[in-house]
Amino acid sequence: MERRVVITACSAITPIGRTKAEILHSLEHGISGVKTLREDGLLSSYIHSKVFGTVDYPVTYDFKRQHRKTMGPVAYYACQVAKEVIESSGLDQTFVTSGRMGVAFGSTHGSPTVQRDIYRTFFGASGSSFSTIGAVDYLKSMVHTTAVNITKMFGITGRVISSSTACTTSSQSIGYGYEAVKYGMQDAMLCGGADEYDTTTVAVFDNLLACSTAFNDTPNLTPRPFDVKRDGLVVGEGAGAVMLEEYEFARQRGAPILAEVIGFACNNNGGDLILPNLSGIRETIRIALKDAKINPDEVDFISAHATGTKMGDVIEAHAIYDVYGELPAVVGLKGYMGHTMGSCGAIETIIAVYLMEERCIPPTLNLEEIDERCAMINHVVSLREQPIKIATVQNFAFGGVNTSLIIKKMV
């Protein structure tokens, strides 16, 4: 039997703010979170792109030492938003540790900061210095460090899913958590993703000539989703988490219900591992609509993946038009904060929830002249006061992984 799944809490750490009020202020006033890339003394001098979606404000942690010792920077981000989500949801400790709540959380690399320290010790020093590698360094750096540090900190004994699919990491996490609750495998799932500040990912995309380089002196002007002057993506950092619960369970305990997750799809292009694929993206969108049991004309708002790459934006625009036509309002939120990698799907879902609550839609930042190849869809170029009943969040990743997540406002 299929069960309804709702969002009862959310929390984000983003380049444009921490709180709902801060994030909405940035969106409504066109404030960018993209800053100049910090010099790291290793890779940055070889990287052509000098911009980064940066969390440039302090984040306060009050974790006990027993939890901190297995955490790298990415796990700090993950555990902080998880802590806030659990507190906001009102779920008690008995339930959290009951086995009826699980975790779906991931990151792109684990903690590259810790990994680099380990590799530097292995390859740049004598064997006698290997002893400086701590017993918990692997636990800090491993790819599933976010998920398992969350389970450790909060005593969560339910199922654990740790997606690591780059740009689709946290949208997969929410989607798989939704399915776990929908089909009765769990009553609640804490879902999301995180990525820390590090130049490794910048170097990877920079080497593929996919990063923005034309706006190094004016970082707030890039990325430029769907714009004729776009020249690539901007890597960013951040974290986002949501609590998913079975509707009746949440209702009976009087939980705050922010939105309902009504559809999800994830599939693969089955071909090239780098280039986006029009038919693959179209199929993902259609499967999500079928799962949600809605028609395309019922969707009011699309949070596009829209990284600002030359061909990626064109292909996504065509996929949107082929399925949805000209009706839904389309926004590329990465214009404000860059591509926050493993956290982008969760952050963009949280922002969609905020916009539903506030009945407004911000413009795509830096979209000054729409590329004619992307012009067939309903771009938002100025702040709109518009209710959103149903929204979809689209994300596409290297490896040909596509996701579409559909959420509905609770009325």
Strand partners, 101: 188
| Selection from 312, 309, 330, 168 nearest residue 234 by Cα | 309
Report residue 116's pLDDT band, with 50, 70 and 90 as the boundaries: confident
Residue with tokens 């959103």: 388
Task: Name the residue with higher pLDDT: 45 or 130.
Answer: 45
The H or E element containing residue 251 is helix 247-252
Report residue 57's pLDDT band, with 50, 70 and 90 as the boundaries: very high
Residue with tokens 């636990």: 139
Report residue 133's pLDDT band, with 50, 70 and 90 as the boundaries: confident
pLDDT digits (tens, 9 = 90+) for 164-179: 999 999 999 999 999 9
Question: Residue 311 in 3-state DSSP?
Answer: coil
The H or E element containing residue 20 is helix 20-29
In the 8-state DSSP scheme, what is residue 370? B
Position 342 pLDDT exceeds 90: yes
The pair of structure tokens assigned to 106 is: 């991931």
Report residue 120's pLDDT band, with 50, 70 and 90 as the boundaries: confident
pLDDT digits (tens, 9 = 90+) for 208-227: 999 999 999 999 999 999 99
Residue with tokens 């790291």: 40
Strand partners, 379: 330
CA 379 – CA 278 distance, rounded (Å): 19
What pLDDT, on a 0 to 100 scale, did the predictor assign at position 181? 98
pTM recorded for the entire structure: 0.96
Peptide bond into 223 cis (omega under 30): yes
- Percent pLDDT > 90 in the chain is 89
CA 200 – CA 109 distance, rounded (Å): 9
CA 202 – CA 209 distance, rounded (Å): 10
Position 131 pLDDT exceeds 70: no
384-385 and 360-361: which strand pairing? antiparallel
What pLDDT, on a 0 to 100 scale, did the predictor assign at position 301? 98
The vertex-164 CA angle with 39 and 199, nearest 5°, equals 5
The vertex-192 CA angle with 36 and 204, nearest 5°, equals 40
Q: What is the chain's Cα-based Rg? A: 20
What pLDDT, on a 0 to 100 scale, did the predictor assign at position 42? 64
- Percent pLDDT > 70 in the chain is 97
| Selection from 192, 174, 187 nearest residue 241 by Cα | 192
Query: Which CATH superfamily does the domain covering 5-408 fall into?
Result: Thiolase/Chalcone synthase (3.40.47.10)
Position 250 pLDDT exceeds 90: yes
What pLDDT, on a 0 to 100 scale, did the predictor assign at position 258? 98
CA 317 – CA 258 distance, rounded (Å): 29
| Selection from 263, 378, 387, 291 nearest residue 332 by Cα | 378
The pair of structure tokens assigned to 325 is: 């036509």
What pLDDT, on a 0 to 100 scale, did the predictor assign at position 275? 87
The pair of structure tokens assigned to 24 is: 């909405």
CA 264 – CA 259 distance, rounded (Å): 14
Task: Name the residue with higher pLDDT: 186 or 273.
Answer: 186
The pair of structure tokens assigned to 238 is: 């951040």
What pLDDT, on a 0 to 100 scale, did the predictor assign at position 385? 96
- Is residue 332 within 8 A of residue 312, CB to CB? The reply is no
Position 96 pLDDT exceeds 70: yes
